[in-house]
Amino acid sequence: MGSIISSCVESLPPLVDFFPPTPEAYAVLLNGFQYFPVFTLIQWLLSFYPAGKKSMNSCLNFPGRVGWVIMELVAPINFLFVLWKLPQTLDIASLPLINKLVGSLYVIHYANRAVISPLFAAPSMSPIHALVVFAAVIFNWVNSSCIASWVVGYNVSTIGYKTDGGIPSSPQGGSGSGYLPYLGLVLFFTGMIGNIYSDRTLFRLRREEADRRAAKEDLDQNKNDSNNGQSTNKYFKVYVIPPCQGVFRSILYPNYAFEWIEWLGFILVGTAIFPARLPSAISSSPSYSTPPFRLAPWLVPAAVLAEKFNVPLSLPGLLFLVNEISTMLPNARWGRKWYVERFGEKAVGGRGAAVPWCSWL
């Protein structure tokens, strides 16, 4: 076993090739990242997730806002770093407009997720355990490296499937199947708006509940004429179950569902991205070779559809969506169980976690 592991490690590109990724390192990242759902199977068995509603007291906790910003800001920073460094070999200024648009969508998403939402919108954030922060940092680094490499034109061949969509003769690339990118833009912004609306609704409900409790406590203190002078965040650890109406009518986590719609749109916009033509000095160099790899079984249907429509397979975007669902869905399922234990099945009202009216999802 030791010799097998040693052989695998020795076959990897040098560590420096991942900062930013060479085409070979990009292939390694994608090949490993596609099996992330296998590791998330444990989340269906264990409810352990020391963050948010289920955070716990620990000396390894990060303050909520600090931990969240650290683990989420990695994504846009590394994304922009890769785009800044890779022009040494690829002229990013000459990239097609669609590539720049896809990159902008990614940064726009994280401007809200990593900065606006935690620092300006959320009334408070529970402590986040260092394990969660560390895992999220690794996830976001790998994901942003893959997406940035894809945006600048890297391509990886897959065994048995044609995933480049048939590189067009124009060095500026093509536009994919006519309507797919436009449909993708609609889905992306629909999902983003729905995600933000869902989050802000929860934040408003928490503020209203915290204000109600604070007013009651002030009244009780006045009656008892007592004030210990302590100052605390009245919003800390105040959670409510959203009423069964609007986007919360059939599910408890519409913010999750809308985010998945958002990234589905991102994938469709990405069908307009064709691999760049690498300069001959680069493409002929062994250190930049990109060996083909075999797709995980759950990705094959997407490859078949890409072949059918003769569009490039938005593999990094697809991996992001699949990996997000694989880790967020079991977390939402445990979150629904938390709601039932805290507020009762009647308050949950038969709603699903992220799948409408499905009590176990």
pLDDT in tens, 82-114: 998 876 655 667 778 999 999 999 999 999 999
Cβ atoms of 293 and 27 closer than 8 Å: yes
Tell me the CA distances in angstroms from 94 to 35, 281, 318, one per residue in order.
33, 18, 25
Mean pLDDT of the chain: 86
The per-residue pLDDT for 69 is 97
CB contact set of 28 (below 8 Å; sequence gap of 6+): 12, 13
Sequence-ordered list of residues with C-beta below 8 angstroms from that of 258, at least 6 positions apart, any chain: 190, 191, 192, 193, 194, 195, 197, 198, 247
- Centre a 10 Å sphere on the Cβ of residue 240 and count the other Cβ atoms it contains: 17
Task: List helix spans (H) across the chain.
Answer: 2-10, 23-33, 36-39, 64-85, 97-111, 130-151, 180-224, 254-269, 280-283, 300-309, 315-343, 345-348
> What does the pLDDT read at residue 248?
97
Q: Quick check: bond before 20 cis, omega within 30?
A: yes
Q: Which residue has the higher pLDDT, 213 or 7?
A: 213
250 neighbors 351 (Cβ within 8 angstroms): yes
Strand bridging mode 128-129 / 61-62:
antiparallel
146-183: per-residue pLDDT in tens? 999 999 888 878 888 888 776 654 444 444 568 999 99
Q: What is the pLDDT of residue 168?
A: 56
Whether residue 61 contacts residue 128, with contact meaning beta carbons closer than 8 Å, is answered with: yes
- The answer to whether residues 27 and 150 touch, using CB atoms and an 8 Å cutoff, is no
CA distance 75 to 105: 13
Tens digits of per-residue pLDDT, 18-76?
Answer: 999 988 899 999 999 999 999 999 999 988 888 988 888 999 999 999 999 999 999 99
Q: What would the two tokens of residue 74 be?
A: 């990695």
Lowest mean pLDDT among 21-35, 209-223, 297-311: 209-223
**For 172, how many CA atoms within 13 A lie in the half-sphere containing its CB?**
7
Whole-number pLDDT of residue 237:
87
CA distance 361 to 356: 8
Band of residue 229 on the pLDDT scale cut at 50, 70, 90: very low
Picking from 256, 67, 33, the residue whose alpha carbon sits closest to that of residue 145 is: 33
Tell me: pLDDT of 5 over 50: no
Q: Which of 186-195, 234-243, 273-282 has the lowest mean pLDDT?
A: 273-282
The residue among 322, 312, 317, 319 whose CA lies nearest residue 161 is: 312
Please tell me the distance from the alpha carbon of residue 322 to that of residue 37, in angstroms, as a whole number: 8
Asked if residue 132 lies in contact with residue 186, where contact means CB atoms within 8 angstroms, the answer is no
Q: CB count, 10 Å around CB of 287?
A: 12
- Give the burial class of 229: count Cβ atoms within 10 A of its Cβ; 0-12 exposed, 13-18 middle, 19 or more buried: exposed
- Whether the Cβ atoms of residue 356 and residue 250 lie closer than 8 Å to each other: yes
DSSP string, 87-120: GGTS-GGGS-HHHHHHHHHHHHHHHIIIIIIIII
Residue pLDDT, tens place only, 276-292: 754 443 444 433 346 78
Residue 136: which region, alpha, beta or left (left: phi > 0; alpha: psi -120 to 50)? alpha
Q: What is the pTM of this model?
A: 0.90
* Integer Cα distance of 251 and 279 in angstroms: 50
Helices 315-343 and 254-269 pack at an angle, to 10 degrees, of 170
Total residue length of the chain: 361
- Whether residue 117 is predicted with pLDDT greater than 60 in this model: the reply is yes
